[in-house]
Amino acid sequence: MTTSIHQLDDGAWISVNESREVNVSDLWLLARHDFCDCELADFLAEGFVEVGVEPPVIDARIAGRCIVCGTEGVTDWLTVGRVVDPADGEFYPVDFTSVHVPRQRTRLARPE
Amino acid sequence: MVTKVEKWKDEVYGNEIREHLMRFAEEGWDSIPEDEHDEWFERFKWWGLYHQRSGQESYFMMRIGTPNGVIEPGQLRVIGEVAKEYATGPAANPEFGEAVCDWTTRQSVQLHWIKLEDIPEIFEKLESHGLSTQQACGDSWRNIVGCPVAGKDKHEHVDAWPVAKDLHETFKGDDDHVNLPRKWKVAVAGCDQGCGQGDINDLSLEPAVKEIDGEEVEGFNVRVGGGLARKEPRFARDIDVFVRPENAADVAGACSALFRDNGDREDRFNARIKFLMDEWGPEKFRQVLQDDYVDFELETAGEDLREAYSYNAGDGNGHGDHVGVHEQPDGNYYVGLNVLVGRMGADDTLELADLADEYGSGEVRLTQRQNIIVTDVPEENLDAFLDEPLLEDYSPDPNPFMRGSIACTGTEYCSLSIVETKNRQVRYARWLKENVDLPDDVEDFHIHLSGCTASCAQPQIADISLRGMKTRKDGEPVEALDIGLGGGLGENPRFVDWVEMRVPADEVPGAIGNLVANYEAEREDGESFREFVEARDEETLADLIEPEETDYEDPYMHNTKMTWYPYVEDDSMEDSPAPTDGAGQPLPSDD
Ligand code: HEM
Ligand code: SF4
Ligand SMILES: [Zn+2]
């Protein structure tokens, strides 16, 4: 089966294969990013703006704020998890408390 | 390319969702195909059902749309009975118990923990008493709001209730208007105080007078494109159109048809009409409306009554709300009761239904400040009604901090939320009541708490606005609030200035206490809080806030969104009983 992925409810969560897997309200640590001037941004996820899939990786651009410096905006692409085996569709989320590095491009899922 | 949600709506939307909903309800939760969950939950909203947040799968929030907040004689009892029988979940709320009714900021009713399997019975009961959940959520005409005492108010210019009712009846289930690009929120008001809060709605009909062919006609001016959501608040803009009451449905329908055809269906974040208004401006909007959507000449705007608007205007002692005892034009009285954060237990709701029958006509009305009004109380019944013990908890003469509090749903049930809201605001209000005094001449002081930027608690139009955030305290993530100051409606509405960001939630009451003390010390004689804020720049204001810990204790500092329910002992996601079957028994999990 192909992996179905979307953000719904104004970006409140990311659904992977019809299961709500990634939620807003968590703090993500971002390194080597240009979201703000902080070396390590402490980023509050407030809404998922776009989701993309580049098997096995699931990516998202997230709207929110760095709680260190107050910068608001939308991140580049962040890996939020993986679907290793499309046959069983099981989603393995990343640990959002570890450090993440945003990237510039990914393949877009259908726009929400 | 249209969005996935649009694709789902193309397949099944509107009235026809009901037969599917009923089939799933008969066959049980498991009958919804696993690979169709998201699309069905998106559609169910149209019938007033919103799937609760993660950790609470298979439970729904149910919204009942009560136009203009009017709950007719007998209906309050039905709502209370439905809440008592069906709105109980696997855990109770420590402040409110189990089975509660929420009176919302758009004059609707919300119940939680509703099971899919119970929906046919609930619908039958509601509908046999003239109540409905149709279009209470989803992409169409939402519940119509207005002055809650329309038809019973001395400040009335035109009685807008028949107009609101007509719009409600016309556009509920009307196939031409059931599938819009996004929600469509309408306000219709006829009083001169601005109680309809039209400025924050997609479409607002507000009272006006116009001389037409030498005759003074009473009707409405039209404004379009208000809304608070996200970080893009807008006030509705004057499109220079006057409508007679008998044309209201034509013009309102023309506006929603224009939205249907021209709203952005490729990006839900850009779909509300406020964004089309940004792009077009009011002149083009009017032109397109005239050219393509009405077949008569639109009148230019009449003379409005905005100068007198005092509702939620931030002037400290105007008509800030409908709480208290007020005489109706027919000599009876309406009694506005304060419901702290809009939540009332089912038993209290049933008791109030009895009191409304006993002392009034049985009718009650909901306000946009989450309060409830008992109408039609004859003078000779007033004293006995006011002596009822229930009114100690729902007071017609509350402390200003209890009276001015509004809070949204927050992490208790809502998936967009960042922080806990209602229980926290209850604790804030109680602490402020005990510890903080307002200047003697300030009777109204509004504090609105929203758990995220969707702004369901209308934070941008309060004296003090609180909005969910996070920060770290001693390295640990804690719930926090941004603090905004000096918002209000009135003739010239104003959104708050956001002046102090990410204040840990346990330091907010101290911050408010210090701010109020500084306001009292520095204000000019009679200066309202809003004027005080308007006269100062953001930096000066930030210095007046001074967050600090006090003896206020906040039990919700941890990340309540990571719990399955914030108030239980075993609160981790793994401890969640959801999803459950129709009897509330846990179902084997999918993963
Ligand atoms: C179970 C989850 C939710 C609950 C319990 C909830 C509750 C509420 C309530 C009580 C209101 C005001 C009342 C009304 O319209 O009758 C409201 C309004 C609103 N809700 Fe929600 N909500 C939920 C989820 C959401 C989501 C996911 C979104 C975003 C798609 C959202 C966006 C809004 C907005 C934008 C408003 C109106 C603010 C304005 O005036 O512009 N809500 N909601
Ligand atoms: S303001 Fe946000 S947290 Fe509060 S009910 Fe609305 S969507 Fe949920
Ligand atoms: Zn930063």
pLDDT tens string, chain B, 591 residues long: the values are 889 999 999 999 999 999 999 999 999 999 999 999 999 999 999 999 999 999 999 999 999 999 999 999 999 999 999 999 999 999 999 999 999 999 999 999 999 999 999 999 999 999 999 999 999 999 999 999 999 999 998 888 888 999 999 999 999 999 999 999 999 999 999 999 999 999 999 999 999 999 999 999 999 999 999 999 988 999 999 999 999 999 999 999 999 999 999 999 999 999 999 999 999 999 999 999 999 999 999 999 999 999 999 999 988 776 779 999 999 999 999 999 999 999 999 999 999 999 999 999 999 999 999 999 999 999 999 999 999 999 999 999 999 999 999 999 999 999 999 999 999 999 999 999 999 999 999 989 999 999 999 999 999 999 999 999 999 999 999 999 999 999 999 999 999 999 999 999 999 999 999 999 999 999 999 999 999 999 999 999 999 999 999 999 999 999 999 999 999 999 999 999 999 999 999 998 654
Nearest to B237 by CA among B275, B288, B210: B275
* Residues of chain A with C-beta less than 8 angstroms from the C-beta of B269: 10-11, 49
Give the Cα separation of A83 and A91 in Å (integer): 5
Q: Which residues of B321-339 are buried (b: 16+ CB within 10 A; e: fewer)?
A: bbbbebebeeebbbbbbbb
Question: Would you call B415 and A13 a contact, using CB atoms and an 8 Å cutoff?
Answer: yes
- Ligand 1 and A12: CB distance under 6 A: yes
Question: Ligand nearest A68 Cα, by number?
Answer: 3
Give the Cα separation of B505 and B363 in Å (integer): 39
Question: Would you call B269 and A10 a contact, using CB atoms and an 8 Å cutoff?
Answer: yes
The C-alpha angle A90, A93, A99, rounded to 5 degrees, equals: 160
Q: Closest to A24 (Cβ–Cβ): which among B5, B230, B416?
A: B416
Alpha-carbon dihedral sign for residues B159, B305, B167, B46: negative
Distance B251 CA to ligand 2 centre (A): 31
The C-alpha angle B411, B412, B414, rounded to 5 degrees, equals: 60
Question: Would you call B35 and A17 a contact, using CB atoms and an 8 Å cutoff?
Answer: yes
What does the pLDDT read at residue B589? Answer: 64
Q: Closest to B470 (Cβ–Cβ): which among A9, A13, A27?
A: A27
Among the atoms of ligand 2, which is closest to the Cα of residue B468?
3
Alpha-carbon dihedral sign for residues B262, B268, B274, B278: negative
Distance A93 CA to ligand 3 centre (A): 24
Distance B450 CA to ligand 2 centre (A): 6
Nearest to B341 by CA among B269, B243, B449, B413: B449
Edge-first strand order for the sheet with B333-337 is B70-71, B364-366, B372-377, B333-337, B324-327
Nearest CA to ligand 2 atom 5: B409
Question: How many CB pairs below 8 Å do chains A and B form together?
Answer: 90
What does the pLDDT read at residue A106? Answer: 63
**Which of B416, B482, B560 should be mutated for ligand 2, with most atoms under 8 A from CB?**
B416
Question: Ligand nearest A66 Cα, by number?
Answer: 3
The DSSP code for B146 is: -
The DSSP code for B39 is: H
Nearest CA to ligand 2 atom 2: B452
Distance B106 CA to ligand 1 centre (A): 10
Give the Cα separation of B88 and B114 in Å (integer): 7
Residues whose CB falls within 8 Å of the CB of residue B150, separated by 6 or more in sequence, listed in order = B68, B156, B159, B160, B161, B164, B189, B190, B191
Q: How close A87 gets to chain B, by Cα (Å)? A: 14
Give the Cα separation of B294 and B290 in Å (integer): 6
**Helix runs in B439-549, H state only:** 508-522, 529-534, 538-545
Give the Cα separation of B536 and B233 in Å (integer): 22
- Ligand 1 and B456: CB distance under 6 A: yes
Edge-first strand order for the sheet with A5-8 is A5-8, A13-16, A19-23
What does the pLDDT read at residue A112? Answer: 47
Among the atoms of ligand 1, which is closest to the Cα of residue B61?
1
Strand partners, A8: A13
Question: Ligand nearest B453 Cα, by number?
Answer: 2
| Helix and strand element counts for chain A (H, E) | 0, 10
**Which of B456, B458, B560, B561 should be mutated for ligand 2, with most atoms under 8 A from CB?**
B456
| Residue of A3, A14, A18, A22 to mutate, testing the B interface (most B Cβ within 10 Å of its Cβ) | A18
Give the Cα separation of A6 and B512 in Å (integer): 40
Q: How close B440 gets to chain A, by Cα (Å)? A: 37
Q: At what angle do helices B4-11 and B37-44 cross, to 10 degrees?
A: 70
The DSSP code for B148 is: T
End-to-end CA distance of chain A: 21
- Ligand 1 and B343: CB distance under 6 A: no
Q: Which amino acid is at B523?
A: R
- Ligand 1 and B353: CB distance under 6 A: no
Question: Would you call A18 and B36 a contact, using CB atoms and an 8 Å cutoff?
Answer: yes
Contact at 8 Å (CB) between B382 and B334? no
Contact at 8 Å (CB) between B194 and B309? yes
Contact at 8 Å (CB) between B103 and B63? no
Q: Which residue in the block uniquely carries the two structure tokens 């260190």?
A: A68
Question: Would you call A17 and B266 a contact, using CB atoms and an 8 Å cutoff?
Answer: no
Question: Would you call B38 and A6 a contact, using CB atoms and an 8 Å cutoff?
Answer: yes
Contact at 8 Å (CB) between B168 and B203? no
Q: Which residue in the block uniquely carries the two structure tokens 């990237």?
A: A103
pLDDT mean over A38-52: 96
Give the Cα separation of B197 and B382 in Å (integer): 29
Q: Closest to A10 (Cβ–Cβ): which among B1, B416, B477?
A: B416
Q: Which residue in the block uniquely carries the two structure tokens 């109030």?
A: B352
Contact at 8 Å (CB) between A22 and A75? no
ipTM for this prediction: 0.93
What's phi and psi for B179, nearest 5 deg? -120, 90
**Which of B406, B409, B455 should be mutated for ligand 2, with most atoms under 8 A from CB?**
B409
- Dihedral class, residue B290 (left if φ above 0, else alpha if ψ from -120 to 50, else beta): alpha
The chain A residue lying nearest B56, using CA atoms, is A20
Task: Quote the tokens at residue B293.
Answer: 């959507």
* Residues of chain B with C-beta less than 8 angstroms from the C-beta of A65: 469
Task: Quote the tokens at residue B479.
Answer: 């719930």
Q: Closest to A15 (Cβ–Cβ): which among B1, B38, B267?
A: B38
Residues whose CB falls within 8 Å of the CB of residue A85, separated by 6 or more in sequence, listed in order = none
Nearest to B60 by CA among B82, B87, B38: B87
Contact at 8 Å (CB) between B305 and B252? no
End-to-end CA distance of chain B: 33
Question: Would you call A25 and B269 a contact, using CB atoms and an 8 Å cutoff?
Answer: no
Going along chain B from its start, the domains and CATH numbers come out as 4-127 (3.90.480.20), 161-308 (3.30.413.10), 324-400 (3.30.70.3340), 402-558 (3.30.413.10)
* Residues of chain B with C-beta less than 8 angstroms from the C-beta of A13: 54, 415
What does the pLDDT read at residue B591? Answer: 45
Distance B63 CA to ligand 3 centre (A): 39
Whether residue A105 is predicted with pLDDT greater than 90 in this model: the reply is no
Give the Cα separation of B449 and B422 in Å (integer): 8
- Ligand 1 and B100: CB distance under 6 A: no
Q: How close A103 gets to chain B, by Cα (Å)? A: 23
Contact at 8 Å (CB) between A46 and B418? yes
What does the pLDDT read at residue B417? Answer: 96
Contact at 8 Å (CB) between B221 and B139? no
Contact at 8 Å (CB) between B283 and B167? no
The chain B residue lying nearest A25, using CA atoms, is B418
